[in-house]
Chain A
């Protein structure tokens, strides 16, 4: 059983990322269950997705993951990654975007919100951590919207998913129009050259 938690902010493509993993998992013959935030929170709120991939002889009873049992946590925003860190098992893998997104509440009060504090916290508390320099990567890829697929590439590369970038590409072909394949394939492969 592989337990995967994805998190981010509404609009970052958490749901699509979860569906790509699920589709790739099914092609590999896993039994898949997932659950995610849909509805009001999608409007800029914190969103998450739980995804469970069970092997041939494993049954998945519920789509929700218990605290301290996720094999891998993929976060599209450092503060959100920290928010869901309690789901990670002790030696689990974390893949997080470096770029923080300031909440409207902080901008309004003139308050500061610095993603660096959260990156530091993750570095202090997570053994298997991969911080993706999303700003540089997205600039190189020339598309600000592919954070989700970029991080999936790193997750595949870490080996903790049980899925490869090649598996994800196949799933991606079924989910996205052909004109978006190239930039997403590049985003998936970015982890390999990094």
Chain B
């Protein structure tokens, strides 16, 4: 054993390796991506790792590995689970042989997601058992236990950390490589009565799964990470005092524990920690509830624990009142914080709120800093080229998931819709069916194109749509931290492979006009966009320019203040974060500028030039 300072996601990866994981696959998505990246960095020779083309592919690959007796880990963010839900729903009915952990990172807030969906709820829907770690340290241990559990019960299991556990850091005692469990897969054993899902098998297994999950409500009550603290029953409590308890899971448990420890008068408050929200540890929860008058539930996203406790209270005819999201005592949406948990506990325990430690006067208006496309980002140029080409025309711009969603901000304003991975291609077709006089564009990044936009293009060609696909090809998966994908020619196993060429893909589908353009050359790009988008049928423009974050710029731009007429067209047209106004003049921040020169292309005086760093 040795001590390491690890991000929660790194701890999960090392935990999986310590559990002898054989196959790891997934699709990037904040806050889950570092798990697979760490496996790739720290794995032994016996472990296979890949970024799959999307979450569905990853889930199916992991299932195949687990059918063969391998220990498999599949990683994704919560919305990725929607993509992978088709195989997972059926997989629970079929089951696995080797341990299979489905790592799904939830994102309360949400901080970088489309939804605040709760994988604990997905667990009860899919009937897949779910482990919910409350800290990076616990996540390290829990994933090892989850593999054992999965193998014991022949079911895939969820591990669902949330952002604060994924991206929290802690110093953790971890196993050395020679202490790792070694799993030697038996190989796939043919048995069509087991591995082929038919209605009859589904019927039989459905019954078994329900029985198992009911049994687990008792068994998991013995799981040491589900625990009751400070439960003591005081006889003849004065009438002004009640027997109170707090129930929590995940990071909210850590907040609750710390907040309770800070309150002197909270000594006799019982605390229930829920580590397996599904199946819920009913027996333990019942022991916790008996004798309590009031319970406050602290959890994020869905009221999962609150519903379970309310159910148990009803089932056993207890006299306990449960407070939480359903009773409007806790916020329905957003993250819990140290402070709002403390506040909630003080209200619940009828304690005075903590005196504000400092009383600061109102500060000057704080700057608003929404995330923006980086200085030098090629997406800015691509959006600008299309915007210029469509000036004065009725046009629709479908956005999609990636850095380029930030094209929605002023002054570009080039993202009219954004729904989910790959949706833009089909949304554009839908808009055009209703508004035939609108020129429709669908913007999609290269990784998203391979993940889930290709079927949309096939749909468009087959159904004779009229639209322009704009592929923003920056040769990486930029938003989630620059992961390779099928178009990059690199794999997570370190191989250099043939790149899958989107031009050939599009031509193969039957897109007849496929044009590759350099977005930084506005003079060529703008007329080409005009020409291509006016053609009938499905057309594609591929803007090729690598992500600026992958290069160290060698120059930066300066404004020739003598020549500058202070029209500020550069700022108003582009919204580049390197451009700012100081003492009434346009300046360029040398630390941010990458000398892409786009601003000079829009400058009427052409008075912006690059100088060497």
Contact = CB atoms under 8 A, between A and B. Distances in A.
Contacts of B111: 37, 39-41
Interface residues on A, range: 35 or more
Interface string B342-370: 10000000000000111011011011111
Give the residue among A43, A68, A124 with the most B Cβ atoms within 10 A.
Answer: A43
A107 B581 contact: yes
Interface of B: 3, 5, 30-31, 111-112, 135, 164, 167-171, 251, 254-255, 257-258, 261, 337-339, 342, 356-358, 360-361, 363-364, 366-374, 403, 406, 409-411, 479-480, 568, 571-572, 575-577, 579-582, 589-592
A42 interface: yes
B403 A43 contact: yes
B581 A110 contact: yes
Contacts of A38: 30-31, 167
Interface in A37-54: 37-46
A11 B168 contact: no
A176 interface: no
A34 interface: yes
24 contacts: A22-B169, A32-B169, A32-B171, A35-B168, A39-B111, A40-B30, A44-B372, A44-B374, A61-B254, A64-B164, A64-B338, A66-B342, A67-B339, A68-B358, A86-B358, A103-B368, A105-B368, A105-B370, A106-B367, A107-B575, A108-B411, A108-B575, A113-B367, A118-B364
B112 A90 contact: no
Give the residue among A11, A85, A88 with the most B Cβ atoms within 10 A.
Answer: A11
A36 interface: yes
A33 interface: yes
Contact of A63 (B164, B410, B591): B164
Interface in A1-26: 9-11, 19, 22-23, 26
Given A40-B30, A64-B255, A86-B360, A104 B372 contact: yes
A16 B358 CA distance: 29
Given A102-B580, A104-B575, A82 B363 contact: yes
Interface in A61-76: 61-69
B158 to A, nearest CB: 22
A152 to B, nearest CB: 17
Interface string A87-119: 011100000000001111111101011000110
B372 A33 contact: no
Closest 9 CB pairs of A and B: A68-B357, A39-B112, A62-B254, A144-B591, A102-B580, A39-B30, A43-B371, A63-B168, A45-B371
Contacts of A181: none
A66 B340 CA distance: 9
Contacts of B589: 101
B338 to A, nearest CB: 4
Interface string A115-136: 0011001001100000000000
Given A62-B254, A108-B571, A40 B371 contact: yes
A186 interface: no
A166 interface: no
B5 A32 contact: yes
Contacts of B255: 62, 64
B379 to A, nearest CB: 11
B403 A66 contact: no
Contacts of B251: 62
B371 A65 contact: no
A83 B164 contact: no
A139 to B, nearest CB: 11
B403 A85 contact: no
B170 A32 contact: yes
Contact of A90 (B164, B261, B357, B479): B357
B529 to A, nearest CB: 24
A65 B338 contact: yes
A64 B170 CA distance: 12
A45 B369 contact: yes
Nearest to B261: A61
A34 to B, nearest CB: 4
A37 B361 CA distance: 27
A144 B571 CA distance: 23
A119 to B, nearest CB: 10
B370 A45 contact: yes
A145 interface: yes
Contact of B258 (A43, A61, A82, A118): A61
A105 B338 CA distance: 31
A164 interface: no
A10 B83 CA distance: 30
A26 B3 contact: yes
A42 B371 contact: yes
A22 B172 CA distance: 13
A88 B366 CA distance: 17
A11 B548 CA distance: 13
A11 B592 contact: yes
Contacts of B342: 66
A79 interface: yes
Given A40-B30, A44-B374, A66 B338 contact: yes
Contacts of B112: 39-41
Contact of A79 (B258, B366, B406, B591): B366
Given A9-B369, A90-B358, 4 more contacts: A32-B170, A61-B261, A62-B164, A90-B357
A62 B366 contact: no
A19 B7 CA distance: 10
A9 B31 CA distance: 19
A36 B167 contact: yes
Nearest to A83: B366
A72 to B, nearest CB: 14
Contacts of B575: 104, 107-108
A90 B359 CA distance: 9
B30 A107 contact: no
Contacts of A42: 371
Contacts of A105: 367-370
A165 B267 CA distance: 42
B373 A43 contact: yes
Nearest to A46: B369
Contacts of A82: 363-364, 366
